Structure 1
Amino acid sequence: MTIKQTTLGGTAADVHVGRVAEGLMLMTWKANPVPDEQCFETIKTSIDNGCTFINSGEFYGINPPEANLELVARFIAKYPAYKDKFFLSVKGGLMNMAPDASEENLRRSITNINAKLGGKKLDLFEMARVDPKVPIETAIERLEKLRLEGLFGHIGISEASADTLRRASKVAKIAAIEIEISPWSWEEETKKVIAAAKELDVAVIGYSPLGRGFLTGTITSKDQLDDGDFRKHHERFQDENLKQNLKLADALKAFAEKKGLTPAQLCIAWVASLGPKVIPLPGSSHPKRLLENIAAADVVLTEEESAEIEKIIEANPVSGGRYSGHAAKLMWG
């Protein structure tokens, strides 16, 4: 099958990608990375079915941090015919896992990404987080300079507010903004970003549309998670919070069953329904699960169904923060 397509925004307004994207993060950002052949088969399945927006990160690995980029390079080396068949977005711009929008670090990051990719073009460079020490206007000026040098194709930002997006867009054209969107991450600022992006013709990439896997309905206790799984320490997966959050997961599962969908498909379809350029970004390392996810691109929710999902979200408030500690301070930069 070939899933429905849409376009990105800004300088990438003529770039067509699938209505559902594919995230590679959890193929490598774990104690025991997924075997190459399984990853390769999943990536091939994604591209072959029109799911051509592929998302990676400079730091999506434990040892080394660039393990995800190296995975992409190995995929291209084994399947060179696929090199130009997908649009690659990479998050970077961190130094010691903290945002650093100095020109020196942005150039270092982009150069490092390009060096690791094995000849694949870096289509979209996303600042992984907004640097609170640098005005967004200055950061975007620096990125535009590097873009015009031919180091990458288009500018993206991640985990940014609507106001930040507006300010950034006055300096250069932004192709995409990546924010967390799911029934358990549906905040007022989320709605403002989607509205601003529509006005500015910027695509919205919705990461974690399945609530870090929780909304699939398969996790009922943090004890099910491996010791190295970062979710084991996440606020929303702690005992009392998880107990409350199961109410949302269970309600969504019941609604999905009535519509003949999996909970994952319902959540992905709901995110996609939020706008023609709102692109859900789930991640899977299994071809079968990936096909299940991208089939959600063909799901149409009626106004009544969307309203019912809104009621479910309102009736089952999420317990626990999206992030904690230092990471929480960088939300909505």
Structure 2
Amino acid sequence: MDKRELGSQGLEVGSQGLGCMGMSAYYGATDEAQSLSTIDRALELGVTLLDTAESYGPFINEQLLGRALAGRRDTAAVATKTGMEITDDGRMVGLNSRPEYLRHALDRSLRHLGTDYVDLYYLHRIDPGVPIEESIGALSELIEQGKLRHIGVCEASVQTIRRAHAVHPLTAVQTEYSLFERGIEHDGVLDTLRELGIGLVAYSPLGRGFLSGAITSPDDFDEDDWRRTDPRFQGANFDRNLEVVREVRRVAAAKDVSPSQMALAWVQHQGAVAIPGTKRRRYLEENVAATEITLTADDVTAIEAVAPHGVVTGDRYAPEGMGFLNG
């Protein structure tokens, strides 16, 4: 796999990463042996950016990744996240980006990951009760201490990104970006990242699996799969969005690739590092093959004709989740 510099602060990663969240939480049944095998295969294929967070479990996903990388820490760029306060016994409290919590959380993440540094440390969501300057200032001190190497923020507004970057250069902004979610092209975020030399890490680049073409009914989900609460997968929204997926499938078939590969190639074409999540080696291998796809101008035109901005029906999250976006 080709490598690319993520942002302009010297972090080099494979051109596609791996989202590890679903290996431990939110997407139904989990299987640790299967997940460890998938991570092994990812590293073999040149995937280096492995994405987790303290809230995934909580803690379980970081611990899984720590076991996966035992004895070979230097083969991966580990990204984890903080800013959603969690007690040491795993109780979720709420947003907290105060410096004292960030210091405590990073030390705890290092223990769970079995490492003495994190390559990329994100504020998972923006805490409106703490000036972003204070939070980024605390993280920059942790860089000086050698506990982390690069700083990022997730789901942040243009104003927040600029204020954060002025305190310490950001390496990456992580946000949802896909053929189903193109908001950053229209709210100034994408232009700002390009102006400031900040990398874009795209989570849910397959529209939470919708763009794979494998989901044909909400009944495809396990009972504990959180997508059952996602507005885009409910009622009439599901039916309308499935029509979009069928159109993406048609365009992909014309290029003799899968809809997943087409969707991932498009994200890569925009200059982002996608972090599709999967628990299974066969899906990982299909996703990684998308890094070999080159899109022509005609391809991009055809893709964007069937998946323009705003084509998807339904909000990204249930109402309680929408309030944490664009912080």
Residue 287 of structure 1: aligned partner: 281
Classify the secondary structure of the residue corresponding to 1:322: coil
Residue 158 of structure 1: aligned partner: 154
Deviation at 1:10, TM superposition (A): 4.3
Which moved further from structure 2: 230-239 or 133-142?
133-142
Aligned partner of 1:303 among 291, 297, 315: 297
Measured in 2, the distance between the counterparts of 1:190 and 1:207 equals 18
Residue 86 of structure 1: aligned partner: 76
Deviation at 1:138, TM superposition (A): 2.2
Aligned partner of 1:199 among 177, 181, 195: 195
Question: 1:75 and 2:73 equivalent?
Answer: no
- Cα 1:120–1:137 shift into 2, 3 Å: closer
Deviation at 1:30, TM superposition (A): 4.1
Q: Is the 8 A contact 2:261 2:287 kept in 1?
A: yes
Residue 45 of structure 1: aligned partner: 41
Question: 1:246 and 2:252 equivalent?
Answer: no
Q: Is the 8 A contact 1:84 1:120 kept in 2?
A: no
Q: Is the 8 A contact 1:221 1:239 kept in 2?
A: no
Question: Which structure 2 segments of 5+ residues have no match?
Answer: 86-91
Deviation at 1:299, TM superposition (A): 0.7
Q: Is the 8 A contact 1:23 1:281 kept in 2?
A: yes
Task: Give TM-score scaled by structure 2 length.
Answer: 0.93
Q: Is the 8 A contact 1:8 1:16 kept in 2?
A: yes
Aligned partner of 1:212 among 208, 211, 221: 208
- Cα 1:175–1:312 shift into 2, 3 Å: same
Q: Is the 8 A contact 1:247 1:316 kept in 2?
A: no
Deviation at 1:97, TM superposition (A): 5.6
Residue 119 of structure 2: aligned partner: 123
- Cα 1:190–1:124 shift into 2, 3 Å: farther
Residue 312 of structure 1: aligned partner: 306
Measured in 1, the distance between the counterparts of 2:116 and 2:145 equals 17
Deviation at 1:325, TM superposition (A): 2.3
Q: Which amino acid aligns with 2:261?
A: Q
Aligned partner of 1:102 among 66, 89, 98: 98
Deviation at 1:146, TM superposition (A): 2.2
Question: 1:268 and 2:264 equivalent?
Answer: yes
Moved over 3 A (4+): 30-33, 188-191
Classify the secondary structure of the residue corresponding to 1:57: coil
Q: Is the 8 A contact 1:162 1:189 kept in 2?
A: no
Deviation at 1:305, TM superposition (A): 1.3
Deviation at 1:197, TM superposition (A): 1.2
Classify the secondary structure of the residue corresponding to 1:215: helix
Q: Which amino acid aligns with 2:23?
A: M
Q: Is the 8 A contact 1:57 1:68 kept in 2?
A: yes
Q: Is the 8 A contact 1:161 1:189 kept in 2?
A: no
Deviation at 1:39, TM superposition (A): 1.4
Measured in 2, the distance between the counterparts of 1:202 and 1:8 equals 7
Measured in 1, the distance between the counterparts of 2:241 and 2:317 equals 15
Deviations 1:255-310 (A, max 9, x none): 111111111101100001012xx101101111121111011111111112112212
Classify the secondary structure of the residue corresponding to 1:153: strand
Deviation at 1:191, TM superposition (A): 6.4
Question: Which structure 1 segments of 5+ residues have no match?
Answer: none
- Cα 1:33–1:305 shift into 2, 3 Å: same
Q: CA RMSD in A?
A: 1.7
Classify the secondary structure of the residue corresponding to 1:220: coil
Deviation at 1:9, TM superposition (A): 2.2
Deviation at 1:32, TM superposition (A): 6.0
Deviation at 1:188, TM superposition (A): 4.8
Q: Which amino acid aligns with 1:296?
A: A
Q: Which amino acid aligns with 2:301?
A: A
Residue 145 of structure 1: aligned partner: 141
Deviation at 1:121, TM superposition (A): 3.0
- How many residues are treated as equivalent by the alignment? 321
Classify the secondary structure of the residue corresponding to 1:289: helix
Measured in 2, the distance between the counterparts of 1:232 and 1:59 equals 20
